[in-house]
A = this chain, B = another copy of it.
Amino acid sequence: MPVEERKRVIEKIRHGGWTTPTSGVLPGYAQANLVVLDKAFAFEFLLYCQRNPKSCPVLDVTDPGIAVPALAGKDADIRSDIPKYHIYRSGEHVETTENMEHLWTDTSVAFLLGCSFTFEEALIQNGIAIRHNEENCNVPMFKTNIDTVPAGLFSGPMVVSMRPMKRADAIRAVQVTSRFPDVHGAPVHIGDPSEIGIINITQPDYGDAVTLKEGEIPVFWACGVTPQAAAKANKLDMITHAPGHMFLTDIKNETLGVL
């Protein structure tokens, strides 16, 4: 990534000139889910992440009141550099904004969690096409009957993202994504959606439906939208990214591979 290209995109997002999804932007670099909480809840949430590493792989945590993510983007401001934010109050999604400076306080802590865009790039490099890219829409995401491991106020269902593929590709996808535990790692389920409580594969809870072709099976990965389900389940205040509208880190995807 030329530094100028990153600067150009970040500037555009910061000043409201970019409000669409970030899929495919700055290829080769990791993108991240956002969760902002008051520091009073920061320990419990970090513990929730530690207990649920597949859903909530932590890339960076800011110091209270500091809006610069030192490990994931020294040049960025977490309050303005995401195209769209979701504001949750008492678990309800009450607002979508392009900036959240007015809600950020001296006690705000921002958590950046790894995003599946990183492993999608690795899948594509392994010859496995990504259906929602082909169909030019958001990845389909579903609430499941898999309970996350609670920590303090945080609990609720695991949210998963789904990608359809041939059985042989599913095996390769397990291998490829196992290399990347910091961006959700290996799938959590392969095949029959009903086993993890998904009734209708054509009606995702978040994102868009995609085509499941003859001879394909759905493959499910833990998803960084899981904290938003925890906010809802426990009536919490939280600021997050809008699904698909991610934070652009300066971390190279390949450096997240464990082997």
Which one of B58, B63, B149, B181 lies within 8 Å of A258 (CB-CB)?
B181
Distance in angstroms between the alpha carbons of A178 and B181 in the assembled complex: 12
Q: Which chain B residue lies CB-closest to A47?
A: B61
Number of interface residues of A (CB under 8 A): 20
Interface residues of A (CB under 8 A from B): 39, 42-43, 46-47, 50-51, 58, 61, 63, 71, 149, 152, 175, 178-179, 181, 185, 258-259
- A98 → B minimal CB distance (Å): 29
Docked Cα-Cα span, A158 to B63, in Å, equals: 21
Distance in angstroms from A242 CB to nearest chain B CB is 25
Known: A51-B71, A71-B51. A259 touches B46 (CB 8 A): no
**Contact A258/B50 with A42-B43, A43-B42, A43-B43 known, Cβ cut-off 8 Å:** no
List 18 A-B residue pairs with CB atoms under 8 Å apart, sorted by A's residue number.
A39-B43, A42-B43, A43-B43, A46-B46, A46-B47, A46-B50, A47-B61, A50-B50, A50-B61, A51-B61, A51-B71, A71-B149, A178-B258, A178-B259, A179-B258, A181-B181, A185-B258, A259-B259
